[in-house]
């Protein structure tokens, strides 16, 4: 797994970059959970999402937000982290200017950052939001949500209660021209303990593969 260091708004950012041989392979970035609660790019969910995208033929980048691991800077309430994610996408695109598809995937806090990135970057064609913390953060900026995507969470999530996630999805369903797919993993908590992790990753892979064969946004 090639380690990379690339420039962020507050100094260096540390990542793991996994290119495909095909020059026009789709690209994806994967965003990790909350830095102040132990979230890093090596989080189990993030790591498994990274490899799921790679195994589907994506060139993938995951990285540490500012102040995590060897990334410079310090935690910035999500504002700076969004800028970090934008820098990561710039870096990924600079090395893959022929890719037809660009995806963002995020887990928990990373899902919130990923959805904001979606609003800023029209080139993103799909997203995966895993356990989005709709009870803790305001997602009302998704008006309108610019791309179709998958929201996936556990029915036993105590960190981000399923009712809040369902309310978020219902709001997004009212929008025209995009399709929000919502899946709940029966019995899983926020962190997808085994055997739920495999189920979740399988669902994500099925969804992304299906989307890649369609031409819709």
Task: Identify the residue with better confidence: 109 or 177.
Answer: 109
| pLDDT score for 217 | 47
Q: CA–CA distance from 65 to each of 10, 59, 84, 130, 189 (Å)?
A: 10, 20, 6, 18, 24
Q: What's the token pair of residue 67?
A: 């102040």
Contacts of residue 75, Cβ cutoff 8 Å, sequence gap at least 6: 35, 36, 65, 66, 67, 81
* Local confidence band at 143 (pLDDT 50, 70, 90 cut-offs): confident
Q: CA–CA distance from 153 to each of 74, 167, 177, 183 (Å)?
A: 29, 13, 24, 7
20-57 confidence digits (pLDDT tens):
999 899 999 999 999 999 999 999 999 999 999 999 99
CB-neighbour burial class of residue 144 (10 A; exposed 0-12, middle 13-18, buried 19+) = exposed
Evaluate whether 84 touches 74 at the Cβ level (below 8 Å). Answer: no
The answer, yes or no, to whether residue 216 has pLDDT greater than 60, is no
Distance CA 195, CA 124 (A): 31
Distance CA 72, CA 7 (A): 10
61-102 confidence digits (pLDDT tens):
999 999 999 999 999 999 999 999 999 999 999 999 999 899
Q: In the predicted model, what is the mean pLDDT of the chain?
A: 96
| pLDDT score for 175 | 87
Distance CA 201, CA 173 (A): 23
Percent of the chain with pLDDT over 90: 93
Distance CA 105, CA 195 (A): 21
The answer, yes or no, to whether residue 1 has pLDDT greater than 90, is no
Q: CA–CA distance from 139 to each of 80, 104, 128, 143, 173 (Å)?
A: 17, 16, 15, 9, 14
Distance CA 210, CA 213 (A): 5
The answer, yes or no, to whether residue 110 has pLDDT greater than 50, is yes
145-176 confidence digits (pLDDT tens):
999 999 999 999 999 999 999 999 999 988 88
pTM of this structure: 0.97
> Helix, strand or coil for residue 206?
helix
């Amino acid at each position: 797994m090639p380690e990379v260091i690339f420039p962020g708004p507050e100094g260096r950012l540390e990542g793991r970059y996994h290119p495909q041989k095909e020059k026009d392979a789709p690209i994806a970035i994967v965003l990790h959970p909350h830095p102040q609660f132990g979230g890093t790019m090596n989080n189990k969910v993030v790591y498994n999402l990274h490899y799921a995208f790679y195994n589907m033929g994506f060139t993938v980048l995951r990285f540490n937000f500012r102040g995590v691991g060897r990334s410079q800077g310090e935690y910035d309430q999500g504002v700076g982290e969004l800028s970090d994610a934008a820098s990561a996408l710039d870096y990924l695109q600079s090395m893959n200017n022929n890719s037809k598809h660009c995806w963002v995937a995020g887990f928990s806090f990373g899902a919130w950052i990923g959805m904001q990135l979606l609003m800023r970057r029209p080139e993103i064609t799909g997203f995966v939001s895993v356990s989005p913390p709709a009870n803790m953060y305001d997602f009302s900026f998704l008006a309108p949500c610019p791309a179709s995507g998958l929201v996936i969470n556990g029915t036993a999530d105590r960190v981000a209660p399923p009712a809040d996630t369902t309310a978020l999805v219902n709001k997004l369903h009212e929008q025209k021209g995009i399709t929000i797919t919502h899946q709940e993993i029966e019995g899983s908590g926020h962190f997808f303990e085994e055997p739920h992790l495999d189920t979740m990753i399988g669902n994500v892979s099925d969804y992304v593969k299906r989307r890649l064969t369609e031409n819709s946004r």
